[in-house]
Amino acid sequence: MKKSKWILFTLVLFIVGIYFIAMNKEKSISIDQTGQVQAVVDETSRGKAQVDWRYVSAMAEVKYGIEEISNEEIKQLTNQFITEENDDFKIKEIDRVLTENEYSQEEKEEVKNYYNQLTDQIEAADNNNLKKMQRNFINDIEAIAIENYETYRILPSITIAQAILESDWGRSTLSSEYNNYFGIKSHNWDGESVNLETKEYYDETIEDAFRVYDQMEDSVKDHGEFLATHDRYKKNGLFNGTTYMEQAVALQDAGYSTIENEQGEKIYSDQLAQIIQQHQLQLIDSKVYQ
């Protein structure tokens, strides 16, 4: 009888031990689980200000469980970050949002832990040679793109995505030899120029003159000035766009690029959006709204 009690007691201790190990094990979240959140956050941000989907994902996991959350609940969490001040949209700091929603100290720590996990996973994905080259390119242009936003209100994600698309990550002849990262032609230009072949529409190739710059920074700054001084961009709502989705469409509508698919449909805005989403460039936009 005593032996049976001892076995039972030992079994209870074992179960309790397993429970505490499980409870104290660091909870985790995978970036693969966040696709739905990313899409809804970006769409909900449209016309307001770009919200960081990592914080929304972290809050969703704590409050609902990320695999159980609905689109409507994601929208509600996203809107918690957006505030309007003097007819201008801003992004609230995460601590303010968590406090306003009465998260406990333990829940606040969980949210920040999940946020850090997602950030680490994004950085870990850059660990091959191609990804490193791409990340270095983004890092080289990010600060200048943010400066351009302050001056011309072109979102950093748009500036960077256009540079990626137009220069093939800085590998095109026009960018690598002449520091022109945006394919800007030399119309109304007093500086040096170079004649090169370029593609128009779907498969048409023509030769045209392009602006030449001394360095990348000059190209980025001139890109902002070029857009700001050509009325068609203003008329098509480029500077009224508050998220990358709107600005990408405005650039396409204003005729920045003539690129089309086989069906003759304009695809420039889709190309920019895909680059921004793939490389999480909208997270840079979140910084400028704080």
* DSSP labels, 112-124: HHHHHHHHHHHHH
pLDDT of residue 9: 53
Burial group, residue 241, by CB count within 10 angstroms (0-12, 13-18, 19+): buried
pLDDT of residue 22: 42
Model confidence pLDDT, tens digit, residues 15-49: 544 444 344 445 889 999 999 999 999 999 999 99
Which residue in 213, 215, 207, 275 sits closest to 244, CA to CA?
275
For 40-162, list the strands marked E by DSSP.
82-85, 88-91
Tokens 């920074």 -> residue: 217
* Contacts with 235 (C-beta within 8 Å, 6 or more apart), sequence order: 254
pLDDT of residue 8: 57
pLDDT of residue 201: 53
* Cβ neighbours, 10 Å, residue 90: 15
pLDDT of residue 95: 96
Beta-bridged to residue 88, according to DSSP, are 85
- Report CA 216 to chain centroid distance, whole Å: 21
Instruction: Spell out, as residue ranges, where the chain has pLDDT lower than 50.
Output: 1, 16-25
Cβ(122)–Cβ(280) under 8 Å? yes
pLDDT of residue 10: 59
Which residue in 111, 148, 101, 94 sits closest to 29, CA to CA?
111
**Taking phi first (over 0 means left), then psi (-120 to 50 degrees means alpha), and beta for anything else, what does residue 201 get?**
left
